[in-house]
């Protein structure tokens, strides 16, 4: 249950983040003309101060208060690499934090705010509600890399241990101990204690030999599942802006956004980045797939032959080898097949240890 809740939580987070990418950036002109109804905005600035109830975020021309109550606050870890298409390590995962940790952050820390701005105490303030939960992300990377880093790192890491696991272990162990003690004074039911004892220590069996080898293999498969799901999320980054069947769209700032097809990247600038790792891009290119080059389609005096970097830093510029929707489905299927394989390997090791330890308990009963 904890694993399912965890998955659903991260899915809703990614969905909410992508929805906020479609909202306009808050600037001084929009802030001054807002009415009583307010509006949904994005805002990027530096952490200025907090009094425990309000967070103050400052940009070049504007300082905006953020109401702390019910806001969802996250911190993006310092990244070891500079390529947003490469998979993060196991320790580089988006972390949800409590507000009491915010005061420990240094002044000037970069912050992304997404949510509703409305009047509060005679001042327009970012506030959180059930309909429009406020998202606050502290980060330390270029803004144009932020969407890729966020959706890539917003993944469940260890489903075997989640926020419900400690309670489940305590409740299960306590119930089994009571059950064992109730059978202990009754000689006719002594054999019943054996499966109870086996069940009592089941949570630690994956870490014991010989089943530990299966657990290690399952963890490697599970890491590959996270990698494929991260690639899927990266491929879907530019698709948020398009309606089904469309090849062009308008960004919140009015900029034209879309893609062009190329048989090869030979005509693109050397700096044109792939949205998924280069190794996968080359593999797809060898199969004759046409490239989809995403970026700004606004005319330029230089007349570039490929889409340019959009002015909106949250709209990605990048190359995808093949149809993005088809590739995203491919990675999703691969991830689910690997997940099934990981569970089968894990349960095989668990069953082997149960059989091994059960035999030992039976022989020394």
What's the average model confidence in pLDDT over 261-268? 69
Residues 132 and 76 in one domain: yes
Q: Does residue 158 belong to any structural domain of this protein?
A: no
What's the average model confidence in pLDDT over 77-87? 60
Residues 12 and 143 in one domain: yes
Residues 66 and 178 in one domain: no
- 224: tokens are 């590959």
C-alpha span between 219 and 246 (Å, rounded): 40
Q: Does residue 159 belong to any structural domain of this protein?
A: no
Residues 41 and 104 in one domain: yes
Please, what is the average pLDDT of the chain? Answer: 85
pLDDT in tens, 300-337: 655 556 788 999 999 999 888 888 898 899 999 999 99
C-alpha span between 48 and 102 (Å, rounded): 11
Whether 87 shows a pLDDT value over 60: the answer reads: no
Q: Which domain holds residue 190?
A: 164-200
Residues 111 and 181 in one domain: no
Residues in the chain: 365
From 244, 250, 259, 267, select the one nearest 322 (Cα to Cα): 259
Whether 339 shows a pLDDT value over 70: the answer reads: yes
Higher-confidence position of 87 and 183: 183
**Predicted local confidence at residue 343, as pLDDT:** 93
Residues 27 and 125 in one domain: yes
Whether 88 shows a pLDDT value over 90: the answer reads: no
Whether 270 shows a pLDDT value over 60: the answer reads: no
Residues 241 and 323 in one domain: yes
- 228: tokens are 């494929």
Residue 212's pLDDT band, with cuts at 50, 70 and 90, is very high
- Which residues 6+ apart lie within 8 Å of 232 measured at CB? 328, 331, 332, 335
Residue 267's pLDDT band, with cuts at 50, 70 and 90, is low
Residues 326 and 242 in one domain: yes
SS3 47: strand
Residues 36 and 115 in one domain: yes
pTM beyond 0.85: yes
Residues 175 and 128 in one domain: no
Residues 295 and 214 in one domain: yes
Q: Does residue 92 belong to any structural domain of this protein?
A: yes
**Predicted local confidence at residue 172, as pLDDT:** 92
Q: What is the domain count for the chain?
A: 3
């Amino acid at each position: 249950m904890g694993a399912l809740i965890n998955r659903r939580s991260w899915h809703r987070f990614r969905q909410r983040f992508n929805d906020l990418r479609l909202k306009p950036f808050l600037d001084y002109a929009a802030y001054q003309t807002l009415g009583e109804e307010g509006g949904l905005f994005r805002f990027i600035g530096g952490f200025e101060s907090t009094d425990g109830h309000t967070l103050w975020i400052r940009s070049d021309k504007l300082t905006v208060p953020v109401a702390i109550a019910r806001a969802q606050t996250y911190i993006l870890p310092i990244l070891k690499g500079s390529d947003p298409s490469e998979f993060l390590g196991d320790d580089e995962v988006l972390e949800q934090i409590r507000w009491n940790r915010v005061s420990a952050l240094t002044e000037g820390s970069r912050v992304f705010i997404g949510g509703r701005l409305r009047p509060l105490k005679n001042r327009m303030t970012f506030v959180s509600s059930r309909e429009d939960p406020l998202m606050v992300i502290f980060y330390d990377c270029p803004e144009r890399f932020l969407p890729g880093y966020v959706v890539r790192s917003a993944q469940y890491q260890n489903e075997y241990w989640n926020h419900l696991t400690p309670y489940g272990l305590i409740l299960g162990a306590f119930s089994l101990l009571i059950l064992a003690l109730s059978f202990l004074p009754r000689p006719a039911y002594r054999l019943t204690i054996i499966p109870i004892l086996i069940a009592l220590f089941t949570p630690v069996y994956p870490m014991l030999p010989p089943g530990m080898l299966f657990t290690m293999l399952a963890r490697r498969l599970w890491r590959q599942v996270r990698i494929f799901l991260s690639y899927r999320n990266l491929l879907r980054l530019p698709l948020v802006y398009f309606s089904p069947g469309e090849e062009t769209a308008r960004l919140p700032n009015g900029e034209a956004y879309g893609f062009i097809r190329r048989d090869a990247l030979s005509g693109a600038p050397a700096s044109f980045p792939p949205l998924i790792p280069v190794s996968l891009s080359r593999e797809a290119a060898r199969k004759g797939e046409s490239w989809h080059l995403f970026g700004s389609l606004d005319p330029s005096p230089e007349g570039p032959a490929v889409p340019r970097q959009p002015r909106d830093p949250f709209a990605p510029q990048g190359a995808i080898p093949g149809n993005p929707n088809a590739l995203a489905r491919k990675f999703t299927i691969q991830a689910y097949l690997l997940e099934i394989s990981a569970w089968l390997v894990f349960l095989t090791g668990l069953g082997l240890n149960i059989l091994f330890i059960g035999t030992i308990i039976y022989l020394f009963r």
